[in-house]
Amino acid sequence: MASSSGNDDDLTIPRAAINKMIKETLPNVRVANDARELVVNCCTEFIHLISSEANEICNKSEKKTISPEHVINALESLGFGSYIAEVKDVLQECKTVALKRRKASSRLENLGIPEEELLRQQQELFAKVTLMKGSLPDGQTGKTSRTNAASPSQTELYSFPSQ
């Protein structure tokens, strides 16, 4: 594979993801294979470009972690300012969705709909196991240690896959 600089450039975005995006952007257009390959490599190059620029901005601001602000400023200074509005929107959307889910989950508890029932049952099960553990002759803790670790902080219980 064409490698531009250094050894770490074997890392690329998966070809399938790129193909899908190209197809969505240019439906019904035939794209040559070497062109696809190129787009994959361009992605990597773009990511390096943005991260280096954002990293520089970050260093100048004497912070240790690259923040969203740094990325936005990097996009602006590299001529990709037109992307900024949309990426910001999508980020905001995601956060709103995440926040809503959290609020909804805690509201559900109070309203007492099926999910709350599940949670309660889960709590009961945990309680039962704890009781069982107490009554084991040798006071064995081997098996139950994992249960204890999983033992419910409220937020842990909300991570249902179906959500």
**Judged by CB under 8 A, which of 110, 135, 159, 162 binds other proteins?**
159
| DSSP structural state of residue 158 | T
Candidates 87-95, 115-123, 124-132, 141-149: pick the segment binding other proteins (CB under 8 A). 87-95
Tokens of 146: 């994992």
CB of 98 to other proteins, least distance (A): 4
| C-beta of residue 37 within 8 angstroms of C-beta of residue 45 | no
Tell me if 160 sits within 8 A of 114, measured CB to CB: no
Cα(146)–Cα(154) distance, integer angstroms = 17
Give residues 38-67 in contact with other proteins (rule: CB under 8 A).
38-39, 41-52, 54-55, 59, 64-67
Task: Give the list of residues 6+ apart from residue 45 with CB closer than 8 angstroms, or none.
Answer: 4
Joined tokens for residue 9: 């450039």
Return the residue of 8, 114, 137, 146 that touches other proteins, per CB under 8 A.
8
141 and 115 in contact (C-beta within 8 Å)? no
| Binding flag, residue 28, other proteins (CB under 8 A) | yes
Note the residues at the interface with other proteins (CB under 8 A).
Answer: 2, 4, 6, 8-9, 11-14, 17-18, 20-22, 25-26, 28-32, 34-35, 38-39, 41-52, 54-55, 59, 64-68, 70-72, 75, 78-80, 83, 86-88, 90-91, 93-95, 97-98, 101-102, 153, 155-156, 158-159
